[in-house]
Amino acid sequence: MIPVRERAEAKINLSLEVIGLRADGYHDIVTIFQTVDLADSIKATPAESISLAVDDAELDTPSNLATRAAKALRSATRTSAGVRLALAKRIPTAAGLGGGSADAAATLRACARLWAVPLSRARDVASDLGADVTFLIDGGTALGAGRGERLTPIVTPTAYAVIVSPAIRIESKTARAYGSLRRDDFTSGERTHALARELDVGNLTALADAPNAFRRVASDIFPGIDDVQRAFAASGAPWTRLSGAGPSLFTVIADPEHAAAVGRRLTGRVRNATIFVARVTDRGTGVE
């Protein structure tokens, strides 16, 4: 059988509010997810067992989320089929861009195709692997609530994201970021709901006022991140936002030439970081 290939697209959070701590230890959030065409690549080949080869040695472990995704789908569907996965990484790891979740979502789509499993079963499995995985099964632009798994698609803008991913890696980053939040960092989610309504009518300028609950704590957790934000401003970015819990920062620009120019200027101003200019993508663009 011919191998199946899937693109594992990164995500940014156009807005992110944390509502509060839940009884199960997680946090309720309201966010706007957005996929971009910065992507890893998954090749899935039929096999008797489940295995993974990845071009980043640090990620080549049994706990890799792509391997877990394949095993979870096989268990849920009670199939005896296996898969040999080959993962080519491009999305920076632990960067707030959902790289591991994107790989898991792409793996679920690939295995569903190989094993003739309805994509709805892959979506069911995704919810157990993480809220970002649930969103990244389909991608595009969506309002996320609950842990982020309750999704409402909204209109995808025609735009480009300029992303700076600093080479900062913090152990247990997400747990540390959530643990650093104070009560006054929690908000109602209404600003994000209002932004979703503006995006639905094509008002891209409303993104300038979007919140991110982690922006305050990011300055303490990620050394030099404030310098990156100043570099964005000096490079002609209209605004700058943290993606997820960081450390990646981004802006969104409608004009591709303006976006490219900001990316070029940032290249001369930011060190020890990877810079991407990526097109915003709609739902269902991950299939190769």
Domain extent listing, the chain: 4-152, 155-279
For residue 100 the two structure tokens come to 């591991």
For residue 95 the two structure tokens come to 């960067």
Structural contact between residues 57 and 177, judged by C-beta atoms closer than 8 angstroms: no
Neighbouring-strand partners of residue 8: 40
Regarding beta strands 50-54 and 82-88, do their DSSP bridges make them parallel or antiparallel, or are they unpaired? parallel
Pick from 11, 22, 33, 12: which is nearest to 178 by CA?
Answer: 22
Pick from 33, 257, 273, 286: which is nearest to 141 by CA?
Answer: 33
Collect the ranges in the chain with pLDDT lower than 50. Answer: none
pLDDT in tens, 235-246: 999 999 999 999
Structural contact between residues 10 and 38, judged by C-beta atoms closer than 8 angstroms: yes
Residues 6+ apart with CB under 8 A from 179: none
Regarding beta strands 50-54 and 249-253, do their DSSP bridges make them parallel or antiparallel, or are they unpaired? unpaired
Q: Determine the 3-state secondary structure of 263 from DSSP.
A: helix
For residue 169, the model assigns a pLDDT of: 84
Supply the pTM of this predicted model.
Answer: 0.94
Whether 11 is a known active-site residue: answer yes
**Domain pair 4-152 / 155-279, same fold:** no
Cis peptide before 247 (omega within 30 of 0): yes
Instruction: Determine whether domain 155-279 maps to CATH 3.30.70.890.
Output: yes
CA pair distance 141, 135, nearest whole angstrom: 9
CATH code of domain 4-152: 3.30.230.10
Residue among 40, 103, 132, 138 flagged as catalytic: 132
Residue among 11, 40, 138, 173 flagged as catalytic: 11
Q: Where are the extended beta strands (E) located within 167-267?
A: 241-242, 249-253
